Amino acid sequence: MDQRVVDFIHALRAKGVRISLAESIDAMRCVEIAGVADKQFFRSALRASLVKEPRDLPTFDELFPRFFGLDAPPPLQQPGGGMSPEEREQLAQMLQQMLASLTPEQLRRLFEMMMTGKGMSGSQMRQFIDENTTATQMTTGFQPWATRRALRELQFDRLEQLLQELIEKLREAGVGEAALRQLEQEARENRAALAQQIGNEVGNGLQQREAEERRRRPAEDLQDRPFEELTYRDDDEMRAVINRLAAQLRTRVALRQKRASKGALDAKSTIRANLRYSGVPLDIRHRRKHLKPRITVICDVSGSMRAVTGFMLMLVYALQDQISRTRPFVYYRTIADVQADFQQLRPEDAIRVVPERVQGGPWQTSLGACLATFTRDYLDAVDRRTTVIFLGDGDDHLSPPNPRAFETIKRRAHRVVWFNPEPPYRWGREDNHMHIYAPMCDAVHHVSNLRQLVAAVDGLFS
């Protein structure tokens, strides 16, 4: 049971549920105390120890039955219950004759299980599937296809043909029709149970393989992978990496701010303070600095930019304790202030809904018009302490460049920084206006992967 619980925890982690080592140990203690006799109590104990977020409950409810048998296939039964002892002897002999010459081996074992009622445990069935099929090499999202592949590679459809051959031989040997009909029904029920068990174990195998791949995959690979190569399978893992990097970045920034907390020497104030000591500098005064930056981030949420925008906003909101104020905007064909979304929702939930706050479609990015709207309606989001971060590729499909509005923002801001995932050689081509905006920025960072994005964000606090 302990190994089953461990596999269950690995499957939950593979689905994105955050479970620490301490929580895993708590789950084991819960199993010891609660026992497994009362499955509902056992289920509640595991859920209380492993699930912290309401959003993870559906994942738990989906995986629990697969590992702990609430939807386990019915047990196999021994066919031939309606036969006389002589007929059962005939069944055993003819079955042995068929099995002796039946190939391939995996089909022989399936037919034997179906006709004798002697099945496999879950782990044995999973090993049987791994050895004889390629189904568990597929991805988790394709479990129905993987199950069909497993059944096809095991030649599961031939079981019905073999059953009919056996029944015909028994009929020729004089076995009664009533006993044959009962035998046929019991064998088919066994076949259905085997199909259900194979489907369950294919799903468990996919989950286990995905969890093992995640463990083997170095986090560094994910940090260096270009944003455009990330798939939906990487989202959960990227969130975990971002949280870890944000924690490291937060510690580094806090240490840097602590060391600089006194600020630079304020010569004038020091001289004034020490006039009473005849100018001897006994009381040193420092110039106070506003160490925590105010950030206004203006993000492109067109289709090609949504992934990097999501990661950027997650990273910024993970560093909230090191930022004096954050004001997020998103733009596409229109621009919108999405601060309310981040105040009402968790950042990962807000990121999913903010693209709906603006209008746009394929090839409808209108940066010039959005800059004009920003300077007209939202310029109060920028003051002399604010660092304005533009996150976008610089494309503008509908309007001409608007350097005048950009200059207005720059004059009010402490500094303007641009994060661009596109390579520099593409800047200025066709409808890309990056070559106009880049010289007006205090810094421009090429951020094509997570490592570069974290380095660029780290630069905001230096």
What are the tens digits of pLDDT across the range 70-114? 556 667 888 887 788 888 888 888 899 899 988 898 889 999 999
Question: Minimum mean pLDDT among 55-64, 167-176, 245-254, 434-443: which range?
Answer: 245-254
Q: Spell out the residues 6+ positions from residue 197 whose beta carbon is closer than 8 angstroms to its own.
A: 72, 73, 119, 120, 122, 125
The pLDDT of residue 417 is: 93
Q: Spell out the residues 6+ positions from residue 81 whose beta carbon is closer than 8 angstroms to its own.
A: 182, 186
| Rounded distance between C-alpha atoms, residue 50 and residue 151, angstroms | 34
Q: Spell out the residues 6+ positions from residue 419 whose beta carbon is closer than 8 angstroms to its own.
A: 312, 389, 390, 391, 445, 447, 453, 456
Q: Does domain 292-459 have CATH number 3.90.330.10?
A: no
Q: Spell out the residues 6+ positions from residue 401 whose beta carbon is closer than 8 angstroms to its own.
A: 367, 368, 433, 436, 437
- Could you tell me the two tokens for 265? 């020497």
Task: Please report, rounded to a whole number, the percentage of residues in the chain having pLDDT higher than 70.
Answer: 87
Cβ(358)–Cβ(336) under 8 Å?
yes
Question: Which of the two residues, 16 and 157, has the higher pLDDT score?
Answer: 157
Residue 31: CB atoms within 10 A of its CB come to 18
Question: Minimum mean pLDDT among 36-50, 179-193, 202-216: which range?
Answer: 202-216
The pLDDT of residue 438 is: 92
CA-based nearest residue to 369, from 416, 322, 410, 334: 334
| Rounded distance between C-alpha atoms, residue 31 and residue 9, angstroms | 13
Strands of 126-180, DSSP E? none
* 219 pLDDT more than 60: no
Coil, strand or helix at 153: helix
The pLDDT of residue 452 is: 86
The pLDDT of residue 221 is: 66
The pLDDT of residue 430 is: 82
The listed range with the strongest mean pLDDT (97-101, 183-187, 236-240, 403-407) is: 403-407
- Could you tell me the two tokens for 312? 């950027």
The pLDDT of residue 307 is: 76
| Rounded distance between C-alpha atoms, residue 41 and residue 68, angstroms | 13
| Rounded distance between C-alpha atoms, residue 15 and residue 203, angstroms | 13
What are the tens digits of pLDDT across the range 332-348? 999 999 988 888 887 77
Task: Please report, rounded to a whole number, the percentage of residues in the chain having pLDDT higher than 90.
Answer: 20
The pLDDT of residue 159 is: 92
Query: DSSP for 358-402?
Result: S---TT---HHHHHHHHHHH-GGG--TTEEEEEES--B-SSS---
The pLDDT of residue 404 is: 94
Coil, strand or helix at 40: helix
What are the tens digits of pLDDT across the range 239-272? 767 777 777 777 776 766 666 656 677 888 888 8
What is the torsion angle, in degrees rounded to the nearest 10, for the CA atoms of residue 387, residue 401, residue 311 and residue 422?
A: -120
| Rounded distance between C-alpha atoms, residue 101 and residue 98, angstroms | 6
What are the tens digits of pLDDT across the range 416-461? 999 998 888 888 888 899 999 999 999 999 988 888 888 888 877 7
Question: Which of the two residues, 64 and 443, has the higher pLDDT score?
Answer: 443
- Residues 170-185, mean pLDDT to the nearest whole number: 88
Coil, strand or helix at 414: coil
* 138 pLDDT more than 90: no
| Rounded distance between C-alpha atoms, residue 304 and residue 227, angstroms | 10
Helices then strands (H, E): number in the chain?
A: 20, 8
Q: Spell out the residues 6+ positions from residue 357 whose beta carbon is closer than 8 angstroms to its own.
A: 330, 336, 338, 341
What are the tens digits of pLDDT across the range 275-298? 888 778 888 887 766 557 788 999
The listed range with the strongest mean pLDDT (11-25, 35-49, 120-134, 162-176) is: 162-176
* 233 pLDDT more than 60: no
Containing 352, the helix (H) or strand (E) segment is helix 347-353
Cβ(461)–Cβ(257) under 8 Å?
yes
* 306 pLDDT more than 60: yes
